[in-house]
Structure formats: C-alpha cells, structure tokens
C-alpha cells in the first residue's frame, strides 16, 4: 500500500539517517516502492551513500527508481523480477537465453556486481562476471504469493551475512521465497520451512 507523502526535509532526513549509520552495516537493503514526494533518484542517493560507507547495497525496486539507481552504479546485488528485468532491457524478454543475456549485460556494464532474477515457481537466475546459473525452486503448496520476493531478499542477505558463498545464498533465498508462498495472506516465511526446503534443494537429507 502507498506510504505517506514526504516533503523534501523528510526524505532528506532519511538519507541523513543512512549516512550516519554506526556501526557501518555490511549490507544495506533498499526495497519496495518510494513514498509520494520522494524523488525518483532516491535509491541512487542511497547507492552513493552505500559506496561511501563501504556497505554492499541490495536493491529490490521497480520503475523509474530502479532505472535511476542502476544508471548510477554502486549496487552490489540487484533483484529484479521478469517485469523489472524487461524495464531495464527496454524491450520484451523473449526466452531464457535472452534473460541470461540481459542479466549478464547488467553485470558487465557495471550496473550491479550480482543480478538475481526471481522467476516465481521456476526459481531464480543469477549472474556474475563469471557467468550465470539457474536454481530451480522446490515444488510447494501455494497459499499466497504475497511477500515471496521480500522473503527471497531477506533469505539471501541473511545467508550472505553469515559468510555463505553466493550460490548458497541464492539457494537460501529461493527456499525462503518458496516457504513464503506456503503461508496464508501476508504471513511471511517460517524458519523451519526455509531450512527444510534449503536442505532439499542442496540434496541434503533432512
């Protein structure tokens, strides 16, 4: 749902709050839509602050705010869905090879170090300078898709903060997103479901 209207002083105070974070975070997450009154380049300012702080920015947004942020660089991990990937490509994504091409181009052009495209029931595609890989989502009973993307981001950042390898972090994020669709309404993922699905994806006995 839309947030409250912010005036210039209010959204500037939000940026000041990020600039004064202490201790400096290892990861900074910027997600969701901007409230009315905040400029489209708000997340671009956050990306610049992340660079100054030495924090890794994880970005999950859409529309003009997404375009402005990636044009200015400084994003560590970008998490678009297919619609948002098409917005960045400025054309319709035709097939899986095209998905990979666009994701890799975003990395190679310096827009982000890592691009993780959420593909819903198909899992995720992630790209780095070393190449790209698809991780399939486990099959789960679907109750509500609300919060799946947020859970995916949360799972990835938690795993990265623990020091896990990127591939494992993306897998943990996919497991968190899958666990979220198992819960009703706006309920988010449950830890035990995430860990069980993660072990299942990794081929480890529960």
Catalytically active residues, by annotation: 150
Distance CA 28, CA 84 (A): 20
Instruction: Retrieve residue 1's tokens.
Output: 């749902």
Q: Would you tell me the crossing angle of helices 191-202 and 166-181 to the nearest 10 degrees?
A: 130
Q: Would you tell me the crossing angle of helices 42-53 and 8-19 to the nearest 10 degrees?
A: 20
The closest alpha carbon to 2, from 34, 29, 30, 46, belongs to: 34
């Amino acid at each position: 749902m839309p947030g409250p209207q912010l005036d210039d002083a209010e959204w500037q105070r939000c940026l000041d709050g990020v600039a004064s974070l202490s201790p400096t975070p290892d990861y900074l997450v910027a997600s969701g839509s901007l409230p009315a009154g905040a400029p489209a380049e708000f997340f671009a300012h956050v990306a610049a602050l992340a660079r100054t702080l030495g924090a890794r920015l994880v970005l999950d947004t859409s529309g003009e705010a997404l375009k402005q942020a990636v044009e200015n660089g400084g994003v560590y991990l970008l998490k678009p869905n297919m619609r948002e990937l098409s917005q960045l490509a400025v054309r319709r994504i035709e097939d899986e090879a095209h998905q990979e091409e666009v994701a890799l181009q975003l990395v190679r052009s310096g827009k982000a170090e890592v691009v993780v495209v959420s593909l819903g029931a198909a899992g995720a595609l992630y790209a780095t300078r070393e190449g790209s890989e698809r991780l399939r989502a486990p099959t789960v009973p679907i109750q509500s898709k609300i919060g799946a993307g947020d859970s995916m981001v949360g799972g990835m950042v938690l795993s990265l903060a623990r020091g896990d390898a990127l591939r494992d972090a993306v897998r943990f994020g996919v497991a968190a997103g899958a666990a979220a669709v198992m819960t009703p309404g706006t309920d988010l993922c449950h830890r035990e479901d995430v860990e069980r699905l993660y072990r299942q994806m990794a081929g480890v006995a529960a």
